[in-house]
Amino acid sequence: MLKRRAALAALLLVALVACGDDDSSTDPTSDSGTDPTSGDTDGDTGDNDTAGDTDTAGDGDGDGDETPSASQVPPTNGAELRPWLAAESYLEWDSESAIHPSTGPHFGDVLTYLNDAAIASLEAGNTVHPVGTALVKELYGRNDTLGGYAVMVKVAEGEGGDTWYWYEDFNGSVFADEVGDRTCTGCHGGSTRDNILTPFPLQ
């Protein structure tokens, strides 16, 4: 009887050891290559899969500087341009050093401001300027009181007066407000620098 109990105990011990064997092939918590909770579906062993990362900036190179700011390119219609001029954003641009007599029919004394695109293009010696090039000329008449503006904005590639928007007002009267305005292109068309007559380097 004792021998039979000892034999049963021995068999039971063997069975317990066998049942407790670690079989990783059936253990859902074992590390068998792909962890279903890691979010990694391509089979590599990295916890942070960056192989599929893309540029999320939306501008191709991530610097976000392709589009000029609104302060650099004036509106190209009088209704929006007049309040833009009144906000004086253009005063941040490079300008001539002092008010001086105009060499054209701009009612007397003037002071011209050039945006960054205009400065860069003129410094490069370009004879045709890029879209977005802009100049604002303050018009003072025969005294030191600002009486109006003349504005030119490059709106199309190529050369010629029809690639520019032109605007001029003085003492409440508007003399130009359209692309290719003949009031302006008649004089500016004689320029060898794509309609820009302002001396450069700025004086």
Question: Would you write out the chain's pLDDT as a tens digit for each of its 203 residues?
Answer: 434 444 444 444 434 434 444 444 444 444 444 444 444 444 444 444 434 343 333 333 334 445 667 889 999 999 999 999 999 999 999 999 999 999 888 899 999 999 999 999 999 999 999 999 999 999 999 988 999 999 999 999 999 999 999 999 999 999 999 999 998 998 998 899 999 999 999 99
Q: What is the pLDDT of residue 31?
A: 45
Q: Could you list the residue range(s) of the whole structural domain that residue 166 is in? A: 78-188
182, part of any domain:
yes
41, part of any domain:
no
82, part of any domain:
yes
Q: What is the DSSP string of the chain?
A: -HHHHHHHHHHHHHHHHHHT---TTS-TTS-SS--TTS---SS-S-SS--TT----SSSSSS---SSPPTTTS--SSHHHHHHHHHTTGGGGSEE-SS-EE-SSSSSSEEEEEE-HHHHHHHHTT-SSPPTT-EEEEEEEETSSS--EEEEEEE-SSSSSGGGEEEEEEETTEEEEEEET-HHHHHHHTT-SSTT--S-SS--
1, part of any domain:
no
Number of domains in the chain: 1
50, part of any domain:
no
Whether the model clears a pTM of 0.75, i.e. scores above it, the answer is: no
145, part of any domain:
yes
